[in-house]
Chains A and B, each alone.
Chain A
């Protein structure tokens, strides 16, 4: 298998998720709803946002995500990704203090021992929090807004995707250089 799977194969395959899920059971492609379903199942605490019937609305999506886990595990075994990024990105990241370039993510930021450092805790814990808070507030993530929403020409999704990039660029150019 070529590394990485080229964009012109991967992109259309990802895009096909939208019609496939609609044709199977009229389901809207969107991963982040699962965060809400899990909160509803584990700790609804009388909060209205978690008062929905998660089994009826979201069980299919949790099953879908279980599939994502298995699919990722299979490909990681069969063809371990060896990420080769642009030399410009490598030098920019080295300049702000990233030293390890093996694997999918830098080991000096994303490991159990790195979690005990300030920068490791920020990227994993604060980062994860912003992903969950933001996706739920915006009512969708990359799959729900950037792919399903933009493909359906929904104005709300255009605003959300502009926000995704505003936040991403802010982090890349202003936050990461200060914390790494």
Chain B
């Protein structure tokens, strides 16, 4: 088993464990608070865009990590599906960033959950996702141009896959926070 396989399994299992612990420790209280708080549901187009972005992320995670955890290179049809889903995810996240960056400023003074429709955790998740998506897109783009030799290519690939792993963890946290915000588990 490669280092990346080990780290992937440990990281995902660890994140799941932390989420579970958090849920049992504070999840029910947070759910009650979320239910009581005023909700600002997304509009139809934003919901669609959000759904496409999440769906493409799931495709990317499956096509990217399925061979990775099996110790195989990404190739063939999986590679083509991965490459096809990447633009949808990148563009979707970019548009969401345009739409939500001002609405959910990271660390802005006075920005509260009620004012922004989003809590501190989700703000952190949003900016982490934006940073990681930028890294994911640019690492692959730079590997396609005549700049980096083999060591550079290897570095770009390593950054890409560890960023992808971080994105998976961020997505797990995001999913948990969304679930909490919807009062699941009450």
A binds B: no
